[in-house]
Amino acid sequence: MKLLVALGGNAIKQAHEAGTTAEQFENCEKTAEQLAGIVSEFGPDDWLAITHGNGPQSGNLSVQMEAAKDLVPVQTLDVIGAMTQGQIGYMLQNTMQKHLKARGVDIDVIAVINQVLVDPDDPEFSGDTASKPVGNFFTADEARALKAQHPEYVVKEVKPGAEKGWRRCVPSPIPSVNVEARAIQQILTDGIIVIASGGGGIPVMQDDKGDYQGLEAVIDKDRAGEVMAQAIGADTFMMLTDVEHALLNFGKPDAAPIGEVTVAKAQQLAAEGHFLPGSMGPKMASAIKFVQEGGARAIISSLDKAVEALEGKTGTIILP
């Protein structure tokens, strides 16, 4: 199996947590334990690549910078993305090494700083269309206060009905190319676990000379994960989040879990509006695209059900 796992924010920071170093390491420990268990069952030709979100971390880092802007210059979102790639990559790398060692698995783990190409004319950069949630969750009152303090922010309800269902949203352009894919593929070929495209990758465009320039955005990590999965030749693309299944009629009394479906059925459900743009929508779109383009299967499930989902026992599984 050639597996790419995309980790949701709950793998690193829970919504109710402050986000201390200790809290994030504790979450990474649980994540690493699950992934190390999967790797321990690998054969000689199997490999694992990992990507992850960075919404809470990049949002909180932006808040810190804003609070200290009279003392230290605020950095752009692409630089913040690079900073959080290093932060989260280190925590996952460190805990993965620990749990692999505990299982007697002698495999190296490396985190890389990774750029992803986007279109500077993407509609996400216009008006209030920004759709990528970052930072902490807010109540409706807190969201209104944030908007009053920062009129330039786009603040949206991303979890309807939840007490804290509001977050700041930033541009999330569609990714097209993983810039360092060839290097990542070579590292995997050498038998090393790679953590890459963190936070969706550092968003860059190409200028007139063909050089890469950073952009103020945060790419959706599932969409960027799909781009990386195709580029490195993964056959299984698994997105781990805070729910065991994608749901029909999300947020309604008749909500129901989605199990194994074909691409055609998944497309039908997406067209019917079952998946919200700021949450499950990008995951389903990424799953559909991966299988359409030749992937064997895409899986959406929760971190604690990762092994069962890989075995086909639970989760939402999209097949050709």
Distance separating alpha carbons of residues 204 and 207, to the nearest angstrom? 10
Residue 209 a catalytic site member: no
37 is catalytic: no
233 is catalytic: no
Sign of the Cα torsion 142, 6, 114, 93 reads positive
Residues 6+ apart with CB under 8 A from 311: none
H/E element holding 4? strand 2-7
How many CB atoms lie under 10 A from the CB of residue 286? 25
Catalytic (active site) residue 265 = no
Three-state DSSP class for 304?
A: helix
Tell me the Ramachandran region of residue 199: left when phi exceeds 0, alpha when psi lies from -120 to 50, beta otherwise.
Answer: left
How many degrees, rounded to 5, is the angle at CA 104 between CA 103 and CA 105?
A: 95
d(CA 8, CA 172): 16
Q: Of 2, 13, 132, 289, which is the active-site residue?
A: 132
Active-site residue, selected from the candidate residues 2, 8, 10, 53: 10
Q: Find the catalytic residue in 2, 13, 159, 221.
A: 221
The answer to whether the beta carbons of residues 52 and 11 sit under 8 Å apart is: yes
| CB 39 within 8 Å of CB 193 | yes
283 is an active site residue = yes
Measured CA to CA, the distance from residue 215 to residue 76 in angstroms comes to 8
Active-site entry in 9, 53, 198, 201? 9
Neighbours of 78 (CB within 10 A): 20
Catalytic residue among 2, 13, 159, 283: 283
Catalytic residues: 9-10, 132, 221, 283
